[in-house]
Structure 1
Amino acid sequence: MGNSRRSFLKKSGLTGMGLAAGFISAYANSDDELARIKEQAAFSPVQSFNMSGYAAPKLDVVRVGIVGIGNRGFDAVTRMNKIDGVEIKALCDLRPERVKMANDLVTQSGHQPALYHTDPEAWKKMCSRDDLDLVYILTPWSLHTPMAVFSMNHNKHVCVEVPAGKTLEELWLLVQTSEKTRKHCMMVENCCYDFFELTTLNMARSGFFGEVTHCEGAYIHNLTEYVFSKEHFYQMWELKEMSSRKGNLYPTHGLGPLCQVLNINRGDKMDYLVSLSNNDFIMGPMAKELAAKDSFYAPYANKQFNGTMSTTTIKTYKGKSIVVQFDVSSPRPYTRIQLVSGTKGIALKYPEPSRFATGHEWLGEAETKLLMEKYTPAIVKKIGESARQVGGHGGMDFLMDWRTIDCLRNGLPLDQDVYDAALWSAISPLSAWSIANRSTSITVPDFTRGAFLKNKPIDISMEKGGTTKVKL
């Protein structure tokens, strides 16, 4: 561990909690790691500054550096290239050909970014620049926290792909660094900007569901073809994750929008969770089958892969419940479930088409269409069509990036803050502990340290902002 990291941990008062070990952990579910998870679940340092609702000084032009130009990274470059008021100042990836591809795209729009590649430490040079306002991180999971912390400590706001961190130590470090530097650390959970999810959030705010009492979300998506592909995930990083860790490894797509509906971190908080995982019935056998034909896969032939299905149930401070599932190997149709259930009505997105009910029967197609039209929020009415044209999971990716830039340019709070990033990501290590202890409940840390009681729900009314143009 470098001296700079030791110095930061010492200054943060975190070294005594085993955080240094967390950075060099292999992230396997060892006894030592499980002990640290339980210890960190009870850890609660003093809040130095409340980042919920924080509005940083506005930026007329947002100068952006992008690190990680893989599958999702190049898409992010493409989206940022379509937003007015953005200057793409730097591009970084280990592979020079990926940097060149991104550079060829943005130079056509007048951007002249500095290029960083080849050297594994090149990202530090980029993030140290004094002409960047925002660093957008789209790298493998293990690099998310180190890059985000380094960037905030070098006076940059951060957008970081999901999950924001892999251990509770990392997540507490993100929280304390954001509070110390007063720099935004937004986990770019794109599903919060799905048009249906935004509409149901507006319905919840408008009282359509009555009091929301229960929600269900998931990430059920057969990724075996990609996980075992030699080309899709650079250096097979996702296969390494799936074969070395246990638990609900990717909870945020299903969970994030539901937390916003339930005002988690803004009036309510998660209290405790229990998690259960079945055995692995698919990936392990697939690894053995591939290894018999190709020695490249031999190191994975006897690995203990994550269970096929992981289910986590969460109880909130106000007595609400959330169920989140994770399965990336079963031959099932894609679903995030997205069930919102209240005292007066419910909504269910999957299986599509989306449905609503206020009694024993689902509403008809005509009634559903009228509800969607009535509760479509202002942000979708304003940017939705442009977002669809630019693309990215039906437009939600672009809507997310546009909204983030617009908030920064208008000096508005971001829709997602560091407490959301930490909490939604924390489900992974907490679920690992619960699974390893026969589904025993474990306390969910309150990353706001009590501030959730006074934090205000996010505002999607678009009464402020909305001035940033789209370059189609």
Structure 2
Amino acid sequence: MSNQFDRKDFLKISSAAMGGAMLTSMGLSQISFAKKKNVLNQDSPVRLGFVGIGGRGQWHLSSALGIPGVQVPAICEIKPERLYTAKRWVEESGQPTPTLYGADEDETAFKKMCEEEDLDAIICSTSWKWHAPIVLAAMNNDKHAACEVPLMLTLDEAWEIIETHESTGNWASTVLGGFPDVTLLNMIRRGLLGDMIHAEGGYIHDLRFVKHAPDEEPWRLWHSIYRNGNLYPDHPMRTIMPALDINHGDRIDYLISMSSKAVMLNDYAADQYGKEHPYATKEMKQGDYNASLIRTVDGKMITLNFDTNTPHPRGNYRFQGTKGVYLRDRGTNRIYVEGQSPESHEWEPAEKYRDEYESPILKNYDPPERVVEIRGHGGSNRQTSINWTNLVEAIRNDTSPYIDTYDSVTSSAVSAVTEQSIAEGCRPVDFPDFTRGKWQNRTPILATA
């Protein structure tokens, strides 16, 4: 397939299909923040600058270049081959050559881009340590920031992001990390499972090869060497938080975290590269399995698991209410509803419930087919992902994405608090209230009409 965009066909795709009317019919709440920027005219371009063009960065760039009305005037990437691939993709889309930052510069070239470029938002897809510095540079230069997860690594960074958001009116969001299971959320909000009591999920993904492969994401290994906690809570939390009304009627009160011993990364290095390889004997701080128990002010519980070091299939989740329970087990959805399921205390397939309770957000989401498939790490597709639609319209309409700054910070801050719990002998640790009391009256995430 040619990588060349047909500019005429591209422009024929109606930008109205990506507009605010679509989001309203989808049921996406449009939450505004305190200090307002200018709402963009529907004919005005949404101008995005990209920082980091690895696998995920390429996927996001490809996503953006297929959305009518989105322009990419600037790219920042320290690896020249990636930088010039991005340049070529922008040019092939029919847009002007972007300004390039990062080649032959230091790792903070993103600061120069944020200072010099007239952009609406920065898209951050770098290694984790740069996420907070990049989004802060964006917000402090009158730009929003959409970031891959986690948003930051420390509680100091978390509070700095909150305070910068509140003082500037610019937001930082982990909307790029994906979209919740809104059909399950619809079941919960319509009372199928009763009152929620407990949710369990986790990032359970074998990344031993990735951590040891120079061409993949070897920076992940650094975190296993020097940190110990639940280092990647955001993917499960994106569905758990709205299901339990975290920051929207309830909040995290405290948590306790515990990790197993660390042996698997050493064993993997010895098996793949030999017992004399440096990583075969290097001390790893991150336990191979982490489990964290989280309790909310309202008495709900979350069991959050983290395992990227052992051989296993991908992770699952479980939601327990007073009337029933929902389980996703390796892609198979099962449910038990007291008084409705055909067999007492026996699982049944969840398909009929998913059909009945399909979220209006999904029912009304049907973006036009793209001219060129999305490329990069995230899967090929000819339709724009719902989280990208949400992101672009939040920028255009001067609202926040479905996961706002407070929720994004809360989700990512789980890592830092679990690290504190483990470092202090696995004791309970109070969780910060990043909303400063506003959680009691905030509209639920993805509230439908």
Alignment TM class, shorter chain as reference: 0.7 to 0.9
Greater CA drift, 350-359 or 256-265 = 350-359
* 2:325 aligned with 1:346: yes
* 2:268 aligned with 1:301: no
Contact 2:229/2:418 (CA < 8 Å) preserved in 1? yes
Question: Matched residues in 2 for 1:252 and 1:420: separation?
Answer: 10
Question: Matched residues in 1 for 2:380 and 2:359: separation?
Answer: 17
**Matches for 1:309-328 after TM superposition, within 5 Å:** 309-328=289-308
Shift in Å at residue 237 of structure 1?
1.2
Residue type at the aligned position of 2:85: M
Shift in Å at residue 385 of structure 1?
7.2
What is residue 247 of structure 1 aligned with on the other side? Answer: 229
Question: Matched residues in 2 for 1:397 and 1:215: separation?
Answer: 30
* 2:264 aligned with 1:282: yes
Q: 1:381 to 1:181 in 2, by over 3 A?
A: same
Q: Deviations over 1:340-364 (max 9, x none)?
A: 2111222212222111220344564
What is residue 430 of structure 1 aligned with on the other side? Answer: 417
TM-score, length-normalised on structure 2?
0.83
Q: 1:131 to 1:385 in 2, by over 3 A?
A: closer
Greater CA drift, 101-110 or 173-182 = 101-110
Question: Matched residues in 2 for 1:96 and 1:345: separation?
Answer: 53
Q: Deviations over 1:416-445 (max 9, x none)?
A: 111112111111121112112232100000
Greater CA drift, 297-306 or 204-213 = 297-306
Q: Deviations over 1:316-343 (max 9, x none)?
A: 00000001000001111011x2212111
Q: 1:448 to 1:435 in 2, by over 3 A?
A: same
Aligned counterpart in structure 2 of residue 117 of structure 1, from 81, 102, 105: 102
Shift in Å at residue 212 of structure 1?
1.0
Question: Matched residues in 2 for 1:213 and 1:130: separation?
Answer: 48
Q: 1:423 to 1:387 in 2, by over 3 A?
A: farther
TM-score, length-normalised on structure 1?
0.80
Residue type at the aligned position of 1:87: Q
Shift in Å at residue 115 of structure 1?
1.5
Contact 2:367/2:384 (CA < 8 Å) preserved in 1? no
Residue type at the aligned position of 1:370: K
**Matches for 1:287-436 after TM superposition, within 5 Å:** 287-288=269-270, 292=274, 298=278, 301-335=281-315, 337-359=316-338, 360-362=344-346, 364-365=348-349, 368-383=350-365, 390=374, 392=378, 398-436=385-423
What is residue 58 of structure 1 aligned with on the other side? Answer: 39
What is residue 228 of structure 1 aligned with on the other side? Answer: 212
What is residue 160 of structure 2 aligned with on the other side? Answer: 173
Question: Matched residues in 2 for 1:413 and 1:353: separation?
Answer: 33
Matched residue pairs, number? 402
Shift in Å at residue 275 of structure 1?
0.4
Secondary structure at the counterpart of residue 446 of structure 1: coil
Contact 1:284/1:305 (CA < 8 Å) preserved in 2? no
**Matches for 1:168-247 after TM superposition, within 5 Å:** 168-188=155-175, 190-191=177-178, 193-194=179-180, 197-233=181-217, 236-247=218-229
Secondary structure at the counterpart of residue 207 of structure 1: coil
Residue type at the aligned position of 1:58: V
Contact 2:175/2:401 (CA < 8 Å) preserved in 1? no
Question: Matched residues in 1 for 2:251 and 2:32: separation?
Answer: 16
Residue type at the aligned position of 2:288: T
Shift in Å at residue 135 of structure 1?
0.2
Question: Matched residues in 1 for 2:258 and 2:67: separation?
Answer: 43
Q: Deviations over 1:375-429 (max 9, x none)?
A: 2223322336769975835879822111111222234332111111211111112
Contact 2:31/2:399 (CA < 8 Å) preserved in 1? no
Shift in Å at residue 302 of structure 1?
2.3
Secondary structure at the counterpart of residue 91 of structure 1: strand
**Backbone CA RMSD of aligned residues:** 2.5
Q: 1:143 to 1:387 in 2, by over 3 A?
A: farther
Gaps of 5+ in 1: 1-50, 464-472
What is residue 444 of structure 1 aligned with on the other side? Answer: 431
Structure having the larger proportion of residues in helix: 1
Contact 1:65/1:90 (CA < 8 Å) preserved in 2? yes
Question: Matched residues in 1 for 2:57 and 2:395: separation?
Answer: 21
Residue type at the aligned position of 2:101: Y
Q: 1:426 to 1:161 in 2, by over 3 A?
A: same
Shift in Å at residue 300 of structure 1?
7.0
Q: 1:355 to 1:207 in 2, by over 3 A?
A: same
